[in-house]
Structure 1
Amino acid sequence: MRYKSYTLIIALAFLPMLIWAQQDTDHLYRKSLKDVLDEIQARFHVKIKYSEDQVKDKYVNYADWRFRNTVDETLDNVLAPVDMKVNKTGPTSYKLKDYEYNVWSVADGWAKLDSIAKLYHDEASWEKRKELLRPALYKALDLYPLPAKPGSKPIITQKRIYNGYSVENIAIEILPGLYINGSLYKPLHYKGKIPVMLSPDGHWDKQRYRADCQLRCATLARMGCMAYSYDLFAWGESLLQFKSEDHRTSIAQVVQTLGAIRIIDYLLTLKETDPNRLGISGGSGGGSHTVLMAALDPRIKLSAPVVAVSSYFYGGCPCESGMPIHMVCSGTDNVELAAMAAPNPQLLITDGKDWTAHMPEHDFPYLQKMYGYYGKTNLVENVHLPNEGHDYGPSKRNALYKFVAKNFNLDIHKIEDKSGNIDESEVTIEKEPLMYVFGDHGQYLPRDAIHGYENLLHVFATAPREKNPVD
């Protein structure tokens, strides 16, 4: 017993040496992330807020070797290998976060755009770049060639009639058993061909059923333009087929792109559609979708991305950046993709409280230069609202109405009051169930509808392909 006690005492005495001995190249100078963060706090007299779950089972190799003279340099060295970062919340306080691949510093974003811009210098060299970008984008989305269209006809609900416009809900089958749902707003009185505006939803509460979304589409219709509002993937009525978490998968971007292509296909079959006046405008994630669709599909003749475009922000949702569209042709960004719409009219609406805050300083001058290659600088506009935030509010909608009226030759006076102000008060805000295609409880969902993420992957992988979209 005495021998065992002496052994224990000796072992305890040498325990610190044994621990220290592990700090060598044989053990990669490895320390737990929690210990390293605690040491940073003590050494630099700062506070780093983190949860136990964030640091659990995370380790830093060569930890002590990553320390530098400043806390910011040290944090960068320590956190980059474990795909984490910090946000500075005060002069001496930080908050630990997962690495945000889609958020760059303003300086880094501008530098990237500047390096991209060196690849062309006139219309001819830019057109060559576009010829490389467009098919590469389709391939990055696994839409080259496109899946064949299902032979089914759209499912259309009964039309509702309001003051100067009508609404009907439409479901379009875009893959076998996969539906994209929306609402089509039409002017009641029109002659000849009329323009169309696609209105993709953003990541806001109440999806396309929101009052501001209805106001926008109905007001466009009252002005003489069809407007088609549609769901994101695993959003709105798409939740009848998928779980909400399925939206956070990379195929969301693929489905939404294919869905918009098939919506355009359908709209162009309508006898009243003017194919030379087909536009698109969405906000936030719908704004990223707007930019991508205007870059991909030359049938789109006008675009208006709202609170979306920035050279230092790539979209924080897989439906915006889940597929490697930004990696094509040695790298691109959302501002260069927006330039692919040139020389078609484009309105960028930005604000002072999100990642679009610096649009007038650097990114918009780049777009003006690109439109200048065609002698069409006047066709790209930026309405910047420095005191506003991330929404599609009244001032942003008003800017859209004026832009669409000017470029699609519509009468803006149809939606103005006696004082010349935009008047949305004539719009009827529908209750959500009225906007469903498949009933209050999904009871009219077709029997062949697929359910679940795994089934979607199978259907997409096995779908016959029809043609290359840019051939």
Structure 2
Amino acid sequence: MKKYYLLLLLLTGAFVSKNFAQQNSDDAYTKPLVDVLHAVEQRFNISIRYPDSLVNGKTLTYADWRFRADIDETLNNILTPLDLVAAKTDPGKYKIKAYEYYRTSVEDGKAKLEYLSSKYHDKQSWELRKDSLRGCMLSALQLSPMPPKPTTAPIISNKRKLDGYSIENIAFEVLPGVYICGSLYQPINIKGKIPVVLCPDGHFGGHRYRPDCQRRCAMLAKMGCMAISYDLFAWNESLLQFNEADHRRPLAMTVQALSSMRILDYMLALKNADTNRVAINGASGGGSQTMLITALDDRIKLSAPIAMLSCYMYGGCPCESGQPVHLCGGGTDNPELAAMAAPRPQLIVSDGGDWTDHVPQIEFPYLQKIYGYYNAAGNVENNHFADEGHDYGPNKRQAMYHFIAKHFKLDSTKLLDASGNFNEHGITIEDKKALYVFGDNGERLPANAIHGYDKLEMIFNELKKQ
């Protein structure tokens, strides 16, 4: 028995020596990340998928010291120092991806919203919070002070008259040599002052040329509004000046915010514009812009962010969170930005297929609380489509039409079908080239147009010196 015990000690020592020969105080117990992940799989009987580019070549100090009894805590200890996260895809299966600064867990998002909500208890304390956020947000966007407005008139082309509405292509010079293109839809017969509706584009295939966007703007025009859809920065015709990669750089968020304000300047100067009935609505990235512009600009009287509001998702693109807007006030989130609309009418449209899945339980009650400070809880509504996904589909559009018609007092009875829905039949879906401002190949791009993100940065650097 004694000889057997000594043999066991020798074998154990050899195993320890072999497995920990490379771990000592000089190299801080360093191991390749790939080896650590394999050890995690074996210990917890799970499988882990990952792109080789995220893992290969990375090492981890004090690797074996990071293991805990819980798998999630273990993965967090291993991956956090490397700006990586593990998402559970199925029972016993995980996928590693790069750390997403714009996304947290539902639980963390809810906890942060509860913390923010504890900072104010009445209209006065909320107004102080809102004012401090607005000033900081404008500075974070590099829009305080606001850049001088170019004096050039918008470029307008190819006006078409269709069934009850017209369309014209339009481009705005929002900064010297920087153009944003859009499509302006108006009723054929305009009588008196009519509502203005901004429709910023989101991150959907087909851009503002896609059928659902054309239907939405045409329907708003037939309802009696002037509606304008316009491009994201470095998308669509903006690619005549910038590269696709520029859309995911910080100034994209700034240019997009500035574009909405410049377009609003123009729209409200039109003789038929009703400055008391001004709305903004958009989905996904357009929903992010909807919340942001409403928070910053009191000229917006009604807002409808679609498929975007979330306490745990800030927007998956730097054009939504690339500037430190969400760091203002010691840290804020999109529900606080949406709350800055109060007491102005606001429709929140959510669904069960994306990060808006918890709106009825978490974000909407928070907004009702803020609107309650103004005795205006009835001004904020939530239409939740639990069986739908991330889009601006027919049901979401119907919710927006009815909300705008109600608050802007539009007589739309002739536009409703037997079931009470707005009838979108008969709207013409045009080929995207019909909506181009600068020609099929950009041949009409103005001569002063700048090219490249470096030139855009130069403009802002010059503005800072003024």
Q: Where do 1:201-220 residues align within 5 Å?
A: 201-220=201-220
Deviation (angstroms), 1:158: 2.6
Report the AA paired with residue 227 of structure 2.
A
Deviation at 1:192, TM superposition (A): 0.9
Alignment match, 1:406: 406
Distance 2:419 2:98 in 1: 51
Amino acid at match of 2:369: K
- 1:98 corresponds to 2:98: yes
Q: Specify the code of the residue in structure 1 equivalent to 2:81.
A: P
> What CA distance in whole angstroms lies between the structure 2 residues aligned with 1:328 and 1:51?
34
What is the deviation of 1:17? 6.1
The CA deviation at 1:123 is 0.7
Matches of 1:304 and 1:88, distance apart in 2: 33
SS for the counterpart of 2:101 is: coil
Q: TM-score, normalised by structure 2?
A: 0.95
What's the counterpart of residue 258 of structure 2? Answer: 258
Q: Is the 8 A contact 2:30 2:59 kept in 1?
A: yes
Change (3 A) 1:149 1:87: same
User: Shift of the alpha carbon at 1:464?
Assistant: 6.9
Aligned to 1:163, what secondary structure does the other structure show? Answer: coil
Q: Is the 8 A contact 2:339 2:367 kept in 1?
A: yes
Using the TM superposition, give the Cα deviation of residue 20 of structure 1 relative to its aligned residue in structure 2, in angstroms.
4.0
Which residue pairs with 2:157 in the alignment? 157
What are the within-5 Å matches in structure 2 for residues 232-247 of structure 1?
232-247=232-247
Alpha-carbon separation, structure 1, partners of 2:285 and 2:48? 31
| Counterpart position of 2:272 | 272
Q: Structure 2 matches for 1:8-407, cutoff 5 A?
A: 20-407=20-407
Query: Take 2:172 and 2:464, find their aligned partners in 1: how far apart are those partners?
Result: 18
Show structure 1 runs of 5+ residues with no match. 1-13, 467-471
SS of corresponding position for 2:350: strand
Aligned residues: 452
Deviations 1:374-427 (A, max 9, x none): 000000000000011100000000000000000111112132135533210121
1:24-78 residue CA offsets vs partner (Å, 9 max, x unmatched)? 2321211111111011111111111123222122111111110001221110110
**Per the alignment, do residues 183 and 77 of structure 1 end up closer, same or farther by CA in structure 2, a change over 3 Å counting?**
same
- Paired with 2:158 and 2:50, the residues of 1 have a C-alpha distance of 53
Quote the RMSD (CA, aligned, Å).
Answer: 1.5
* Map of 1:4 onto structure 2: none
The answer to whether the Cα contact below 8 Å between 2:398 and 2:421 also exists between their aligned partners in 1 is: no
Gaps of at least 5 residues in structure 2 are: 1-13
Which residue of structure 2 aligns with residue 421 of structure 1?
421
Alpha carbons 2:87, 2:94 under 8 Å: kept: yes
Letter in 1 for 2:299: R
SS of the residue corresponding to residue 146 of structure 1 reads coil
- Percentage of identical aligned residues: 56
User: What's the TM-score, normalizing by structure 1?
Assistant: 0.94
What is the match of residue 460 of structure 1?
Answer: 460
CA displacement at 1:315 relative to structure 2 = 0.7
1:202, 1:287 within 8 Å by CA — same for their partners in 2?
yes
The DSSP-based 3-state class of the residue aligned with 2:172 is strand
Q: What amino acid does structure 2 have at the position aligned with 1:423?
A: N
Contact preservation (8 Å) 1:165, 1:187: yes
Q: How many angstroms apart in 1 are the aligned matches of 2:287 and 2:421?
A: 26
**Deviation by residue 1:288-331 (Cα, 9 ceiling, x = unmatched):** 11000000011100000000001111111001111111111111
SS of residue in 2 equivalent to 1:197: strand
Instruction: Tell me how far apart the structure 1 counterparts of residues 96 and 18 of structure 2 sit (CA, whole Å).
Output: 31
Q: Is the Cα contact below 8 Å between 2:310 and 2:334 reproduced in 1? A: yes
Q: What is the CA-CA distance between 1:19 and the residue it aligns to? A: 8.6
Residues 76-124 of structure 1: CA deviation (Å, up to 9, x unaligned):
1100000111111222111111111111111110110111011111111
